[in-house]
Amino acid sequence: MADLTLRDVRKSYGGMEILHGIDLDIASGEFVVFVGPSGCGKSTLLRCIAGLEDITSGEMHIASERMNEVSPSRRGIAMVFQSYALYPHMSVYDNMAFSLKIAGEKKVEIDRRVRQAAERLQLTAYLDRVPKALSGGQRQRVAIGRAIVRNPKVFLFDEPLSNLDAALRVATRIEIAKLKESMPGTTMIYVTHDQVEAMTLADRIVVLKDGKVEQIGTPIELYRRPANLFVAQFIGSPAMNILPATCEANGEGMLVRHAAGGAVHMAMTPPTGPAGGEICLGVRPEDLFVAAGTDGLFEGRVDLVEQLGEVQLVYLDIGRGAPLIAKLPGNQEVARGSHLRLDVRPGHLHLFSKEGHSIARRETS
Amino acid sequence: MSAPSASHPAGQVNVWAVVARTFLLALLVCLGIVVLYPLIWMALNGFKDNSQIFGDPFALPAGWSWANYVQAWNQGVRNYVTVSLIVTVASGICTVLISAWTAFGLTRSRMPMKPIVVGFVLGGLMLSPTVALIPLVKMLQSMGLYNTYWALIILYTAFRVPFTTFLIRAYMLDLPRDLDEAATMDGASEGQVFWRIILPLCRPIIISCVILHVLFAWNEYLFAMIFTSGADLQTLPVGLTSIMARHGTNYAVVFAAMTISALPIVVIFFAAQRYFIRGLAEGIGK
Ligand SMILES: Nc1ncnc2c1ncn2[C@@H]1O[C@H](COP(=O)(O)OP(=O)(O)OP(=O)(O)O)[C@@H](O)[C@H]1O
Ligand SMILES: [Mg+2]
């Protein structure tokens, strides 16, 4: 039983449709992350769930109760805004107490819950300050505190870390992970375009593009078995290398030959379809390794080496289109301008049809 | 000890800076004198008698006798001050609340044809009081409000709402929407968003609007003269003219009355001027 469901949810502004039919089931207690390029509708979808925007068509349910017409505050949802949106004229205490005061809670109860939340977020020392007198990280925690005092069923975050510097972002990310652990019954939906946040925090990731869901799955599913070219290139850094290729039946399996000339035998039946043997071949940079002797699927001249210490990114000019990027161990000797052969295990290859859909295959290694 | 000898260019810059500062300061002092001197002169003349005023208009008064002030106060000014206070305070509260609520609606609500509504409200700025005078007299007479406090309170409110709305709206447009949305998520109704979030945040511009309204209502003459006739309903500007008519020759009392009537405005302005400037600058700037 999913706790939050969206059925064919559409959203238009004026005549422009921004969300084109979103279907989503989120189980209660799950941590779901929306990722996607800028302008794909992540914030819009989140605001529709919050009730800050009306849904143009489709249905939304929380715990099997239809939510389309329910006002934002009655949905049992709390939201942490990207800008924090703290009330500038109120102290931290009053910021956190605001929703409880509106709800008419007793003073004692308000005090208990605010202090409890403050304790948990290490804000007790700052309760009397106004938001202006806090650092970015502290404001962020107040914004979270304001949300947790309400005991929401669903927690929404819209890019909560984007205003923080790199170090604080990592620290706060860990805080959020801990927060999630301490609230096992609370569903969390988190918008980001930072892959690392998505991969580390999510139980499941929803990849959006142009107002459509491209794929839903656990982080490792998206990484290992992307449903299409877009997801394949969006998840993982640096992005997956994609090359045009052809395939033909070859004995037990098929022979895949990529545009730069290399060929590999794969134990699967070739796809049938209008495009016939034309496919796209995907290789993750981290799956490539330096080939022994004279084999290797790819060969070319090293164009550029980016040494990152632990690993190095090698840009290999294979004579066709964009350079092939390989992530090799940092201690391997690779000279710029030298000739290099790279190989990959057939099981790590990704095949996509001309239209960009993943071609299913048996797991082999 | 080791004063740097290479400070020659810096020294020159300093000289110019000092000259410029001195100039600016002198200019400001002159401006201050131009503005303040007539006021002080008026207050001082309230302590003199007629012969002193005409004989030696710029001298300090011979003695500090409050007699003229007491006389002015007792011969009507007390009454005028009361009327002016009632009218100013009541119309000020009405104007600011109505304008703030209107501005809130104009900036925050989703209504059809909003630009037209905005144009309609702000179009009130174009209406000249003089032009509307005769219809207003007829209307207020038929409503039975002629020669009451209400006539002035309603008219001052009606004529000041467009301008005040204009100022507050400009300020509200700059307040981030996230705050409203956060409050909505926290369960606040629109009214609560207004009273607890938006209105407190608008404090600087509200204070500016109150001051502007007080300046207007305290000094307004045309409506006050036309819509009140009894001496017990006259505001200060109208009352002062009647004092002048009555004490035409006793200038000292007239000066004392004028000083009393100007005093509240001056005090309010100085007390709140920091907010006043800030509110206006923030609302219109950016
Ligand atoms: N109020 C609105 N009126 C019209 N179009 C809007 C409105 N709000 C958003 N849009 C459009 O909807 C699309 C999706 O916007 P949205 O803010 O959801 O993107 P996003 O995925 O959150 O992007 P980002 O990662 O940059 O925050 C954009 O093309 C935007 O122009
Ligand atoms: Mg966004």
User: Which pLDDT does position B247 carry in this prediction?
Assistant: 74
Strand ordering across the sheet containing A16-27? A16-27, A2-13, A57-62, A65-66
Atom 14 of ligand 1, nearest CA residue = A41
Closest in A52, A72, A87 to B197, CB measured? A87
User: Which pLDDT does position A149 carry in this prediction?
Assistant: 93
| pLDDT tens per residue, range B241-251 | 888 888 777 88
B112 touches chain A (CB under 8 A): no
Residue B53 lies in a domain: no
Q: Are residues B80 and B40 in the same domain?
A: no
| pLDDT tens per residue, range B174-199 | 999 999 999 999 999 999 999 999 99
| pLDDT tens per residue, range B120-144 | 888 888 888 888 888 899 999 999 8
User: Which pLDDT does position B10 carry in this prediction?
Assistant: 53
Cβ pair A72:B185 closer than 8 A: yes
- pLDDT of B263 over the 60 cut: yes
CB-facing half-sphere around the CA of A279: CA atoms within 13 A: 26
Residue B70 lies in a domain: no
Q: Are residues B96 and B208 in the same domain?
A: yes
| Ligand in closest contact with the CA of A194 | 1
> What are B19-27's contacts with CB under 8 Å, separation 24+?
none
CB of A43 closer than 6 A to ligand 1?
A: yes
Q: What is the homologous superfamily of the domain A241-360 according to CATH?
A: Nucleic acid-binding proteins (2.40.50.140)
In this structure, are residues A141 and A123 in contact, taking their beta carbons and an 8 Å threshold? yes
Note down pLDDT in tens along chain A; length 365 residues. Answer: 348 999 999 999 988 999 999 999 999 999 999 999 999 999 999 999 999 999 999 999 998 899 999 999 889 899 999 889 999 999 999 999 999 999 999 999 999 999 999 999 999 999 999 999 999 889 999 999 999 999 899 999 999 888 888 888 998 899 899 999 998 889 999 999 888 899 999 999 999 999 999 999 999 999 999 999 999 999 988 999 999 998 888 777 788 888 888 888 887 776 665 556 788 999 999 999 998 877 788 989 999 999 999 999 999 998 878 899 999 999 988 889 999 999 998 889 999 988 888 887 644 43
Instruction: For residues A243 and A43, give the distance between their C-alpha atoms in angstroms, rounded to a whole number.
Output: 33
CB of A211 closer than 6 A to ligand 1?
A: no
A125 touches chain B (CB under 8 A): no
CA of A162 to the centre of ligand 1 (A): 17
* DSSP secondary structure, A163-216, as one string: TS-HHHHHHHHHHHHHHHHH-TT-EEEEE-S-HHHHHHH-SEEEEEETTEEEEE
CB of A18 closer than 6 A to ligand 1?
A: yes
| pLDDT tens per residue, range B197-211 | 999 999 889 988 998
B134 CA to centre of own chain:
26
Domain count, chain B: 2
Q: Are residues B123 and B83 in the same domain?
A: yes
In this structure, are residues A207 and A174 in contact, taking their beta carbons and an 8 Å threshold? no
Cβ pair B185:A50 closer than 8 A: yes
Instruction: For residues B169 and B99, give the distance between their C-alpha atoms in angstroms, rounded to a whole number.
Output: 9
Residue B146: phi, psi to the nearest 5?
-60, 140
Atom 25 of ligand 1, nearest CA residue = A38
For chain A, where do the domains classified as CATH 2.40.50.140 start and end?
Answer: 241-360
Q: Are residues B19 and B135 in the same domain?
A: no
Residue B9 lies in a domain: yes
Provide the shortest C-alpha distance from residue B95 to chain A (in Å): 24
User: Which pLDDT does position A274 carry in this prediction?
Assistant: 54
Q: Report residue B50's pLDDT band, with 50, 70 and 90 as the boundaries.
A: confident
Average the pLDDT over B47-51 and give the result.
Answer: 83
Provide the shortest C-alpha distance from residue B196 to chain A (in Å): 10
Q: Which of B186, B195, B201, B205 to mutate to test the interface with A (most CBs of A within 10 A)?
A: B186
Q: Are residues B211 and B269 in the same domain?
A: yes
Instruction: For residues A117 and A107, give the distance between their C-alpha atoms in angstroms, rounded to a whole number.
Output: 15
User: Which pLDDT does position B195 carry in this prediction?
Assistant: 95
Contacts of A99 in chain B (CB under 8 A): 185-187
Q: Are residues B20 and B160 in the same domain?
A: no
| A132 secondary structure, DSSP code | G
How many separate helices (H) and strands (E) can be counted in chain A?
8, 20
Give the helix, strand, coil percentages of chain A, each rounded to 5: 25, 35, 40
Greatest CA separation found in chain B?
A: 87
User: Which pLDDT does position B11 carry in this prediction?
Assistant: 55
Instruction: For residues A217 and B126, give the distance between their C-alpha atoms in angstroms, rounded to a whole number.
Output: 62
User: Which pLDDT does position A276 carry in this prediction?
Assistant: 62
| Ligand in closest contact with the CA of A81 | 2
Residue B146 lies in a domain: yes
User: Which pLDDT does position B54 carry in this prediction?
Assistant: 81
Please state the pTM of the whole predicted model.
0.81
Question: What are the residues facing A215 on neighbouring strands?
Answer: A207
Tell me the two tokens of residue A332.
């391997």
In this structure, are residues A94 and B197 in contact, taking their beta carbons and an 8 Å threshold? no
CA of B155 to the centre of ligand 2 (A): 48
Q: How many CB atoms lie within 10 A of CB B203?
A: 12
B187 touches chain A (CB under 8 A): yes
Q: What is the homologous superfamily of the domain A4-234 according to CATH?
A: P-loop containing nucleotide triphosphate hydrolases (3.40.50.300)
* DSSP secondary structure, A280-300, as one string: EEEE-GGG-EEPSTT--SEEE
Residue B208 lies in a domain: yes
Q: Are residues B178 and B40 in the same domain?
A: no
Residue B41 lies in a domain: yes
Provide the domain limits for residue B25.
Answer: 2-45
Nearest CA in chain A to B176: A85
CA of B211 to the centre of ligand 2 (A): 41
- pLDDT of B163 over the 60 cut: yes
Number of residues assigned to chain B: 286
The helix or strand, by DSSP H or E, that contains position B22, with its residue range, turns out to be: helix B8-45
Q: Are residues B29 and B150 in the same domain?
A: no
Instruction: For residues A61 and A67, give the distance between their C-alpha atoms in angstroms, rounded to a whole number.
Output: 5
A225 CA to centre of own chain:
15
User: Which pLDDT does position B9 carry in this prediction?
Assistant: 54
Instruction: For residues A232 and A226, give the distance between their C-alpha atoms in angstroms, rounded to a whole number.
Output: 5
User: Which pLDDT does position B279 carry in this prediction?
Assistant: 67
User: Which pLDDT does position A255 carry in this prediction?
Assistant: 84
Residue B50 lies in a domain: no
Q: Are residues B16 and B134 in the same domain?
A: no
Residue A154: phi, psi to the nearest 5?
-130, 135
Cβ pair B182:A81 closer than 8 A: yes
User: Which pLDDT does position A365 carry in this prediction?
Assistant: 39
The helix or strand, by DSSP H or E, that contains position B151, with its residue range, turns out to be: helix B149-173
Radius of gyration of chain B from its Cα atoms, rounded to whole angstroms: 25
Q: Are residues B173 and B227 in the same domain?
A: yes
Q: Report residue B1's pLDDT band, with 50, 70 and 90 as the boundaries.
A: very low
Tell me the two tokens of residue B180.
């409203």
Q: Which of A43, A77, A83 to mutate to test the interface with B (most CBs of B within 10 A)?
A: A83
Residue B62 lies in a domain: no
Q: Are residues B94 and B223 in the same domain?
A: yes
CA torsion through residues B1, B7, B11, B13, sign: negative
* Residues in Cβ contact with A243 at an 8 Å cutoff, skipping those fewer than 6 apart: A258, A259, A260, A280, A281, A283, A320, A321, A324
Provide the shortest C-alpha distance from residue B200 to chain A (in Å): 7
For chain A, where do the domains classified as CATH 3.40.50.300 start and end?
Answer: 4-234
Provide the shortest C-alpha distance from residue A280 to chain B (in Å): 44
Q: Are residues B168 and B27 in the same domain?
A: no
- pLDDT of B155 over the 60 cut: yes
Nearest CA in chain B to A158: B178
CB of A57 closer than 6 A to ligand 1?
A: no
Contacts of A77 in chain B (CB under 8 A): 185
Task: Tell which residue, A67, A54, A59, A71, has the closest CA to residue A12.
Answer: A54
Task: Return the best residue to mutate from A10, A11, A13 for the ligand 1 pocket (most ligand atoms within 8 A of CB).
Answer: A13
Nearest CA in chain B to A75: B185
- pLDDT of B6 over the 80 cut: no
Task: Tell which residue, A102, A77, A80, A95, has the closest CA to residue A152.
Answer: A77
User: Which pLDDT does position A103 carry in this prediction?
Assistant: 92
A81 touches chain B (CB under 8 A): yes
